[in-house]
Each structure stands twice: as structure tokens, then as C-alpha cells.
Amino acid sequence: MRTQKWIAACLLLAGAAGALAQTTPREPLQNVAQLSASGSVEVQQDLLSISMSTTVGGTDAGAVQTQLKQALDTALAQARQAVAPGQMDVRTGNFSLYPRYGKDGKINGWQGSTELVLEGRDFSRITSTAGKIQTLTLANVSFALSREQRARVEGEAQALAIERFKAKAGEVSKSFGFNSYTLREVSITANDQGYPPRPRMMAMQAKGDMAEAAIPVEAGKSTVLVSVSGSVQMK
């Protein structure tokens, strides 16, 4: 019986201590500054992606699907001859087949589309291959940064942002009459924004004018931005 009373008393004291700890207000932070800084690097986009597609319509679903498959197989066989890992990779994109409806709500035909994507860092190889494919037409041209280029430039922007953060922390601390600071917490975020020109219009015009000619394209630039934010304890 005494043991049970002793355990109950200990639990009561522990609960009281926990409640007291929760109700005791924390001391306000003193001499802490919230800061942010950023660094950006502009770089040429080095990854080209060309999407080629075709659309087929007809009254028989099987016939439409067969035509799409033949067009894709022919284009894929031709594109594979120029494949070079990292320089030009080939993949199939969207392949769809769906019914068409008449005014009476009944199916009166079928329509489908298929897509092939050429992507990589060798612009000349990609554009010349796209120009040779005759069973598909140009659908879209886009540029981006390769994984290697992004990592390299992001590292440069991050180093720049950190140096600016450290410089600002030192300046703020000195302005408030402190000699130094210590880092409390920090957050780093990165993103990029591209500025491509008008490659799609140029490419579509060239495709119509000269069969089997390399599609003229010109990459834009991307700005990689890294932001550093956090707090420092001024000392």
C-alpha cells in the first residue's frame, strides 16, 4: 500500500513539474538578426528537346492505330541511327486514340496522335536528325539546362549567395555595435528562369521549305538564382 502511495506521489510531482515547464514563458531572443541574401549566375542553355508528332483520323479505329504505329516506327528507326547517350537520346511520347462523336452523340470516327522526342546536348545531331524524319512533323522546340550544367552553375550561385549573407551579417552586427556573430539557423533555396528566343517558329518554317535540312535553332539563357536566409546571434 505504501509503495502505491509513493508511486502516485511521484507521478503527481512529475505532472506538476511538466505543467510548470509548459506554462513558464521562454525568455525572448536578444541580439538576433534575421537576414537574407541571394546570388545569381546567367548561363547558356545546353539541353535541346525537339518533339515531333502526327495526327491521323478515320472511321476505323484499327486502321488509325496502324497508321500511327507505322509513322512512329519509321521515325524511331531513323532516329535510333543517330543516338549517342547524353548527346542525343530518343524516347516516345504521347500515343492516344479517341473516338469522334457526331451531332447525334454517336461515334462517327476515330482520331489519334503519336509523339517522338529527341533530346540532348548535341544540337547539330538533334536538328539534322529531326530534319530527316518525314513521317512526323515538328510539334515543339524547347531549351533547358542539363543536370551537369545546372549543378555547376548552382554551386557558383550558392557560393556567391553565402558570401553575401556572411558580409551582410558582419555589416549588420557592426552597425549595432557588436564585434562578431554566430550563425543560428540558415535555409538555402535554388531556382532558375529561362529566356528562350523563338526557335519554334523558325523551325516550323524551315521544315516546310527544305525537306531533310537541319532545323535552325538558337538557345537562350537561364539565370540560376540561389537564396540564403536565416538568423544570426550578434555578439
* Bridge partners, residue 67, by sequence: none
pLDDT of residue 164: 96
Q: Are residues 81 and 116 in the same domain?
A: yes
Do 139 and 192 lie in a common domain? no
Question: If DSSP codes are grouped into helix, strand and coil, which group holds residue 133?
Answer: coil
pLDDT at 196: 46
Q: What is the mean pLDDT of the chain?
A: 84
Domain count, the chain: 2
Residue 191 has pLDDT above 90, yes or no: no
pLDDT tens string 201-211? 344 444 444 45
Angle between helices 123-132 and 199-209 (to 10 degrees): 40
> Above 70 in pLDDT, residue 16?
no
In a domain, 15, yes or no: no
Domain assignment of residue 16, yes or no: no
DSSP H or E stretch at residue 182: strand 181-195
Q: Is 220 exposed, middle or buried (0-12, 13-18, 19+ CB in 10 A)?
A: middle
Q: Specify whether 138 is located in the same domain as 175.
A: no
Q: Looking at the structure, do residues 105 and 73 belong to the same domain, yes or no?
A: yes
pLDDT level of residue 57 (50, 70, 90 thresholds): very high
For the ranges 68-72, 195-199, 212-216, the lowest mean pLDDT is seen at 195-199
Q: Same domain for 175 and 116? A: no
Q: Note down the domain range covering 129.
A: 47-144
Counting Cβ atoms within 10 Å, is residue 60 exposed (0-12), middle (13-18) or buried (19+)? exposed
| Residue 95 shares a structural domain with residue 35 | no
Claim to verify: residue 164 and residue 189 sit in the same structural domain: yes
Q: Is residue 1 assigned to a domain? A: no
- Over residues 84-139, the pLDDT tens digits come to 999 999 999 999 999 999 888 889 999 999 999 999 999 999 999 999 999 999 99
Span 24-49, mean pLDDT? 85
> Are 39 and 68 in a shared domain?
no
- The CATH number of residue 192's host domain is 3.30.110.170
53 and 119 assigned to the same domain: yes
225 and 180 in a common domain: yes
Label residue 200 by pLDDT band (50, 70, 90).
very low
CA distance 140 to 213: 17
Q: What is the pLDDT of residue 193?
A: 66
Co-location of 163 and 227 in the same domain: yes
